[in-house]
Amino acid sequence: MNFIERLKSIGPGAMVAAAFIGPGTVTTASVTGARFGYALVWTIAFSIVATIVLQEMSARLGLVSREGLGEALREQFDSPALSGLSIALVVSAIGIGTAAYETGNILGGAAGLEGLTGISANLWGPAMGLVAGVLLWSGKYKLIEKALVGLVSVMAVSFLIDAILIGPDLGALARGFVPSVPQGSAFLITGLIGTTVVGYNLFLHAGSVQERWAGPEELNESRADTVLSIVLGGFITISILVTAAAAFPVGTNIQNVSTMAEQLEPLVGTQAKVFFGIGLFAAGFTSATTAPLAGAYATAGALGWDTDLKSTKFRAVWGSILLVGIVFSAVGYSPVQAIVFAQVANGVLLPIVAVFLIYVMNDRDILGSYANSTLQNVVGGLVTLVVVWLGLRTLYTVAADMGVF
Could you tell me if 57 and 372 are in contact, meaning their C-beta atoms sit under 8 angstroms apart? Answer: yes
Residue 139 region by backbone torsions, left for phi larger than 0, else alpha for psi between -120 and 50, else beta: left
Tens of pLDDT, residue by residue over 156-214, are 999 999 888 888 899 999 999 999 999 988 878 877 887 788 888 999 999 999 999 98
Per-residue tens of pLDDT for the chain, all 405 residues: 555 666 666 889 999 999 999 888 888 899 999 999 999 999 999 999 999 999 999 999 999 999 888 888 777 777 787 778 777 777 776 776 787 778 888 988 988 898 888 888 888 999 999 999 999 999 999 999 999 999 999 999 999 998 888 888 999 999 999 999 999 888 788 778 877 888 889 999 999 999 999 889 999 999 999 999 999 999 999 999 999 998 888 888 887 666 677 777 766 667 878 888 899 999 999 999 999 999 899 888 888 898 899 999 999 999 999 998 888 888 766 545 555 555 555 556 677 778 888 988 998 988 999 999 999 999 999 988 877 776 676 666 656 665 665
**Domains along the chain with CATH numbers:** 3-179+194-402 (1.20.1740.10)
Q: What is the pLDDT of residue 69?
A: 84
Helix, strand, or coil (residue 85): helix
Measured CA to CA in angstroms, residue 36 lies from 61, 242, 254, 335, 374 at distances of 38, 11, 12, 21, 38
Q: Which of 296, 359, 352, 353 is nearest to 323 (CA)?
A: 296
The whole-model pTM stands at 0.88
Tens of pLDDT, residue by residue over 8-45, are 668 899 999 999 998 888 888 999 999 999 999 999 99
- Helix/strand number for the chain, H first, E second: 19, 0
Measured CA to CA in angstroms, residue 114 lies from 21, 122, 128, 285, 395 at distances of 19, 9, 12, 14, 35
